[in-house]
Structure 1
Amino acid sequence: MSSQTSLSILNKKSSALLLFGLCTLAMLIPINASAFQQNDTAVDFNQYSGEVTEESSNKPLVFATLTVEGTNISTITNTEGNFLLKVPREHINKNVVVSFLGYKTKMIPIASLEPEKNEISLEVSVTQLSEININAPKDALALVKETLKNRDENYFEDPTLMTAFYRETIKRRRRNVSLAEAVVNIYKTPYSSFREDAVELYKARKSTDYSKLDTVALKLQGGPYNTLYVDMMKYPEYIFSEEALSNYKFTFDRSTRTNDRLIYVIKFNQYPGIYEPLYQGELYIDVENKVLTSAIFSLNITDRKKAAQLFVRKKPARVDVWPTEVSYRVDYREKDGKWHYGYSSVFMEFKVDWDDKWFNSQYSMTAEMAITDWEKNINGDRPRYRERIKKSIILSDEASGFSDPNFWGEYNIIEPEKSIESAIRKIQRQLRRDERNSD
């Protein structure tokens, strides 16, 4: 497989944008207040919320991980550092482990947490220069190759059933116009297997106000698959196939620590003279164990027309659409010496230019997914094909409204940002007005 083909597969599977010209009113969907009413059941979990910050500056730590000690239950902080953690009461005598790359891990007794407004601060982990000089590998590319080669030993070797929370948002400039969330089951195959993962939709809801999109509506195709395929240790062929590696220059940048492990940061970028839109970013590798713990990277938009061909599936003929930014993140977690996919996100920003308008519009899409619980899938069971999410899914078309505040029950989710909460309320009010006007 050539590097050019690998790039095409990555983008087709991980991200897709659809633009439709439409009549605004035709797409307005009134909220069904009874869409997700749940049966009254005894609550057998405790809920805790709060904020994780840096100790010295008090700035919020984005995507910090909170895990219930000795379990597979976890969540992450949102873009404002806030978290929401639901813990079954059988585990309230345990600790919650709070970790973030480059900071000292903290263990906090769950019994000491308040239901709300918990403030957790982490201290920066300092790495000694002498330690770096002694242990520094000599060849960044060789370290990357060895890390990819060792994935069968370092990552999950058993079929695993994961519970995940998935969210996608669409904004026109700074205003949210579409929000969709879901709890999904991921039937994760071993990292040594070439068999792809399967995804099953469990719960989903959405809130959309197409009136804020003027004469076009943007829809993200692929749903949870947008984030699942960012797991580059499971799907290295989509970015770092053996052929594609030669297109990149890898260099050591700096080192940091997490969970008392020495982590090297390796920068990569495509070589000059390669004009296909490839990638640039950073790999965070545990040097001692040759494990990729995180990766943050983005598309090099060297040719906006070629970049548009990778992402835009459908659009009106008189509209020019191209991406101005496409970026990715993936984080891995460790349990009993084995690593697994824990969180990933995709951010895409587009310009939409109409032939008959003086000014263009700017839209952005964000998709993120976090593993909140998992267990070994001993029999390797997988859902039947008709029960699986199709890779062509448009989640905002499949989900219903934001109607039930207790919709998620005991499931851990990513705490909504204040802007998202505000947008949901405004969208709901708009949809209710439209519903009344149509009566």
Structure 2
Amino acid sequence: MKGSKRLLFTLLGILLVAAQGFAFQPSDIKYVEYKGEVVNSSNGRGISSAYLALNNSNISTITNSDGEFSLKVPEDLIEATVTISVLGFQSKTLPLTCFKSEETRIELDETVQELDEVSLYKATNAELLVKEMLDKKDENYLSDESLMTTFYRETIKKGWSNVGLSEAIVKIQKSPYNNGKRDMVSIYKARKSADYDKLDTVAVKLRGGPFNTLYLDMMKYTEYVLRPEMLDSYKFTFTDPTKINDRFTYVVEFTEMDKTDPWYYGKLFIDAATSTLVKADYSLNVDNRDVAASLFVKKKPGGCKVYPVELNYMVDYAQENGKWHYAYGRAELEYVVNWKKKIFNSRYKINSEMVVTDWQPVQDENWKRNNEIINPNIVMVDDASGFYDSNFWGSNNIIEPDKSIENAIEKIKRNMNQ
């Protein structure tokens, strides 16, 4: 278990160097775009990470941290319906005719679950339930190769200021869950920006790019967190059950018992009817700063100490035709840079997220030959490239930018034009 975890840390880490670059690429596919927000009906607050799926299609997107969304639909599908779902709220299905090009407001009601329905939950041993979840992986998840279109965003902040932004439309040849073949990743279109000179500070780069979120697919990459033969190294306990997409769901808390290295802890959300993992929220304890620094920091300038202080992860799965697949992954990382001759340290927050916006069965046997495959060592602010165009994103669904990100992009554009 520890060896597999160290391999993951080696693949995904931060670099402290210099940075540059800014790039876009165009698209001319026709589509209809709908924008709006998903809010809590009781207080009007935006709901982040709400999943919007166009029914009877593979098209989907997700809300940003402000609850805002952008959904792009081909013209021939405008008579469809959309299901909006998120943990803790009742799902809602609406006809696409209810959506507007701007300011669509969707209200979701919080889930109020009477525990007299808890009798529907039959499992009594949390560890055995997790074992059953892993044993049924071949039955519950995609068993054919598929081509996924995803949107990836990576942001790096020093304090409250954005210092690095990378976004990309990413193509993934997703291998079946019932074999050990690795997924292949290609960057279809990308843009990036950095403003390190203006901030007069060390530049933080994230190594791994889309792989930081792809490897959160617990059911595909079980060797990193839930290796079946190492389950006895975890403690599993039940907490209050819930509902996800109006389905009864077990909630299992887990924590590693060996705490000599950074150790995982968090929650697994397991569908009660099928024993399928549908969501996971978890973290990595990095209280041991020296060990954590050796694992996560790959390069740094002299005269400073750099170490992670908080690492949080989330993965969501979606169901299509009775089979589940990776739908969304998010990693939130916080690092401290402590200079020897400075009184105050600097804190950097690195967020990366990827949402699957479309997927199809693989039809091109020469996909690898016809696409430039990236490796897990990619650094987006160095390696992503493209060309600027106002219609860059074309028909591809993306996560609507947060207001702070929009402001940072505009600021960087102005700086580049000076």
Q: Same fold (TM over 0.5)?
A: yes
CA 1:386–1:318: 2 relative to 1, 3 Å: farther
CA 1:163–1:363: 2 relative to 1, 3 Å: same
Q: Structure 1 regions of 5+ residues with no counterpart? A: 434-439
State the 1:7 CA deviation: 1.6
For 1:152 and 1:73, locate their aligned partners in 2 and report how far apart those are by CA, in whole Å.
24
The superposition leaves residues 156-181 of structure 1 with CA deviations (integer Å, 9 ceiling, x where unpaired) of 01100000000101100111011000
Which residue, out of 250, 269, 286, partners 2:271? 286
| Matching residue of 2:6 | 8
| Matching residue of 2:151 | 165
SS in 1 for 2:407: helix
Say if 2:279 and 2:314, in contact at 8 Å, map to a contact too: yes
CA 1:403–1:382: 2 relative to 1, 3 Å: closer
The superposition leaves residues 256-281 of structure 1 with CA deviations (integer Å, 9 ceiling, x where unpaired) of 1122210111111122x632211111
SS in 1 for 2:292: helix
Amino acid at match of 1:281: G
- Alignment pair present for 1:354 and 2:351: no
Q: Pairwise mapping of residues 144-183 of structure 1 onto structure 2 (< 5 A)?
A: 144-183=130-169
Which residue, out of 205, 228, 236, partners 1:250? 236
For 1:242 and 1:68, locate their aligned partners in 2 and report how far apart those are by CA, in whole Å.
35
SS in 1 for 2:311: strand
Say if 1:64 and 1:100, in contact at 8 Å, map to a contact too: yes
State which drifts further: 422-431 or 229-238: 422-431
| Matching residue of 1:223 | 209
Q: Pairwise mapping of residues 168-317 of structure 1 onto structure 2 (< 5 A)?
A: 168-271=154-257, 274-317=259-302
The superposition leaves residues 14-67 of structure 1 with CA deviations (integer Å, 9 ceiling, x where unpaired) of x310012x5xxxx555x67xx6456xx5x6311000000122222211111111
For 2:70 and 2:170, locate their aligned partners in 1 and report how far apart those are by CA, in whole Å.
18
SS in 1 for 2:8: helix
The sequence identity of aligned pairs, in percent, is 45
SS in 2 for 1:238: coil
State the 1:317 CA deviation: 2.7
For 1:36 and 1:129, locate their aligned partners in 2 and report how far apart those are by CA, in whole Å.
52
CA 1:37–1:287: 2 relative to 1, 3 Å: closer
| Matching residue of 1:19 | 16
SS in 2 for 1:152: helix
State which drifts further: 104-113 or 219-228: 104-113
State which drifts further: 340-349 or 203-212: 203-212
CA 1:243–1:87: 2 relative to 1, 3 Å: same
Q: Pairwise mapping of residues 38-437 of structure 1 onto structure 2 (< 5 A)?
A: 41=28, 44-271=30-257, 274-378=259-363, 381-384=366-369, 387-400=372-385, 403-433=388-418
The superposition leaves residues 212-247 of structure 1 with CA deviations (integer Å, 9 ceiling, x where unpaired) of 453421111111111110000000111111343222
TM-score by length of 2: 0.95
For 2:347 and 2:397, locate their aligned partners in 1 and report how far apart those are by CA, in whole Å.
32
For 2:242 and 2:382, locate their aligned partners in 1 and report how far apart those are by CA, in whole Å.
43
Say if 1:320 and 1:352, in contact at 8 Å, map to a contact too: yes
CA 1:212–1:138: 2 relative to 1, 3 Å: farther
The superposition leaves residues 315-358 of structure 1 with CA deviations (integer Å, 9 ceiling, x where unpaired) of 12321100010111100000111000000011110000111212
The superposition leaves residues 64-121 of structure 1 with CA deviations (integer Å, 9 ceiling, x where unpaired) of 1111110000000001100000000110011111111232221111122111000001
Q: Structure 2 regions of 5+ residues with no counterpart? A: none
Amino acid at match of 2:206: L
Say if 2:26 and 2:390, in contact at 8 Å, map to a contact too: no
State which drifts further: 315-324 or 150-159: 315-324
For 2:26 and 2:358, locate their aligned partners in 1 and report how far apart those are by CA, in whole Å.
24
CA RMSD of aligned residues (A): 1.9
TM-score by length of 1: 0.91
SS in 2 for 1:138: coil
Amino acid at match of 1:5: G
SS in 2 for 1:383: helix
For 1:330 and 1:188, locate their aligned partners in 2 and report how far apart those are by CA, in whole Å.
16
SS in 1 for 2:368: coil
State the 1:385 CA deviation: 9.4
CA 1:392–1:347: 2 relative to 1, 3 Å: same
Amino acid at match of 1:389: I
Amino acid at match of 1:6: S
CA 1:406–1:359: 2 relative to 1, 3 Å: same
For 2:364 and 2:193, locate their aligned partners in 1 and report how far apart those are by CA, in whole Å.
38
Amino acid at match of 1:349: E
